[in-house]
Each structure stands twice: as C-alpha cells, then as structure tokens.
Amino acid sequence: MLKDISLGQYFPGRSLLHRLDPRGKLLLLVVYITALFVGNSAFQYLFMALWLTVAVASCRVKVKVLMRGMKPLLILIIFTAILNVVTTPGRDLLPGFFLRVTEEGIILAVKMISRIFMLISASFLLTYTTSPIQLTDALEHVMKPLKWIRVPVHELSMMMTIALRFIPTLIEETDKIMSAQRARGGDFDSGNIVRRVRALLPLLIPLILSAFRRAGELATAMECRCYQGDVGRTRLRVLRWQWIDAAVILLCLAMLAFVIIMPLFMPPFRAFVWDVLGWLGVSRL
C-alpha cells in the first residue's frame, strides 16, 4: 500500500505538459478544479473527463500509475460515497432496509467519486510533470504579492516543496522499517484496531528519528552551499512565458467558460437526442 503513494514523484519527459511554464500549470490546475466544482451534470463531468484523458495521454503518464496512486485514498472515497448514499434525502430504493438508500444519494455519490478522482488525478499530473525546483519557483512567483505584507514567501514555498519532495523518501523509509520489523516478528496486519495502533509504535519511533536525521543532513547541505534564502539568490533557469503557455491557458479558460454555459444548451440537446432516438425507433422509457 505504501509503495502505491505516488504523490510528489517527478517523471522527466519532453511532453507538452513537461515544457509548459510551472506558473501556467498551477493556473491550469486552479482553472480545472474550479470547473469541476462548477459542473453538476453528467455532460459536464464527461467533458472534464475528456480533458483529463487528453492531458494524461499528452504527458505519456501510464494510467496504471494514476490508478496505483488512488489505492491509498480508496477507503476515503468509499466512505464518502456511502455517506452520500445514506444521508441524501429522496426516493427510497430499499424500503425496510436498516439504512436509507435513495436514488438521489446514489447519483450524488457517483458525482462526488468522479469529482474526487479527477481532482486527485489532475493534482498528480502537476507533480508528475514538474520538478521540485520548478514548483518552488512557481509557488514563489504566484505568492509574490504577499511580500508586501511581510509574508516569507520564499521560505514558505521552499518548505512546501521540500515536504512534497520528501513524501516518496519517507514512504520508502517506512517500507524498509516495516520489512525490518516483520523480519523480527512484528505483526502489523492482524488483530483489532487497538492492537494495530499499538503495533505501529515500533514503526513510528525510528521513522521520526530518521526524518529528523534527514532534516539535519538537508540543513547542513544547504548551509555548506551558502543558502541564505532569497537574498541575492540567482536561478539557473529563469522562468519565461512563451506563446504556447498563453495559448494553453486561454484554451483552458475557454473550457471553463464552456462548462459554465453548458447548462443553457442542455434542454435543446436532450430534445435533439430524443428526436434522433425516436427516428431510430427507440421509445422513451
């Protein structure tokens, strides 16, 4: 399960998403998430899923990598779906059942699962196609106006990127410690919830010590390289906007506008679909 967490990993490549400006990719993610929360119909979700499919295909990230990253969040997704099914009022589909399952709840659960899946997949694509250094520079540029109110923008962006970068490292370290504990007779899978929590104590202590040790080594390495924050700092690669970045952002803004106005076209579109089905001899249920 731990090896399935792929958040924070970077896969080098030369695709269009890899070559886009990281500031533009942050803006694209915000626009996509906004469109996900604006959309509420099946056609809007299908349209957003089509955009996500095109993005995944363009950056040549394997679908199984995305699906593997979803495994650690599967319990949360299932719990959210069940909660929506049993708490949404509407027409009861199972009268006499100890839980009230409604048709509206099932529809809402499907929408929530689709929204969570596309949101997480889009976030994964950002880390898959953006190196930690580029992500740090992009966050610093985006939060630059906060410097006017004396917010340590560079330090915040550096801490966020380091935390994101060390997620795969800590996961690998956790897996090694668990393997070592199992070789010594440790059991993390059997027993009730209380016993499993107690079994994690021999895992957490060496993991915390290892995290502090890595943090000290990182601080020493940064001091040896005369790191002093953003004071007098120069960059090896300066972020520059290109015409392709502006074109992609304008295209995504057009996508957001289309998602917003899509409900206006739904009634005529549905009528057209039923007319075509009637012409084909398919009666309305």
| Tens place of pLDDT per residue across the chain (285 aa) | 445 555 557 777 788 888 888 888 888 888 888 888 887 777 778 888 888 888 888 877 777 777 776 776 777 788 888 887 877 777 777 776 667 777 788 888 888 888 888 888 888 888 888 887 787 778 777 787 887 887 788 778 778 778 777 777 777 788 888 788 777 776 666 766 677 777 777 778 888 888 888 888 888 888 888 777 766 666 667 777 778 878 888 888 887 787 777 766 666 555 555 565 566 555 444
- Report the alpha-carbon distance of residue 41 to residue 161 in Å, rounded: 35
- Report the alpha-carbon distance of residue 58 to residue 166 in Å, rounded: 27
Question: Encoding tokens for residue 129?
Answer: 């196609």
Question: Encoding tokens for residue 44?
Answer: 């809007």
- Report the alpha-carbon distance of residue 189 to residue 195 in Å, rounded: 9
Whole-model pTM over 0.75: no
Cα–Cα–Cα angle for 104, 105, 108, rounded to 5 degrees:
85
* 21: CB partners within 8 A, 6+ apart: 138, 239, 240, 241, 242, 245
- Report the alpha-carbon distance of residue 223 to residue 229 in Å, rounded: 11
Helix-then-strand count for the chain, H and E: 11, 0
Per-residue model confidence (pLDDT) at position 206: 83
Nearest by Cα to 159 from 176, 140, 187: 140
Rg (C-alpha) for the chain, rounded Å, is 24
- Report yes or no: 16 and 244 within 8 Å, Cβ to Cβ: yes
Place of tokens 């897996």: 175
Nearest by Cα to 55 from 19, 21, 15: 15
Per-residue model confidence (pLDDT) at position 272: 54
Q: Where are the domains of the chain?
A: 1-130+242-280
Per-residue model confidence (pLDDT) at position 36: 84
- Report the alpha-carbon distance of residue 169 to residue 166 in Å, rounded: 5
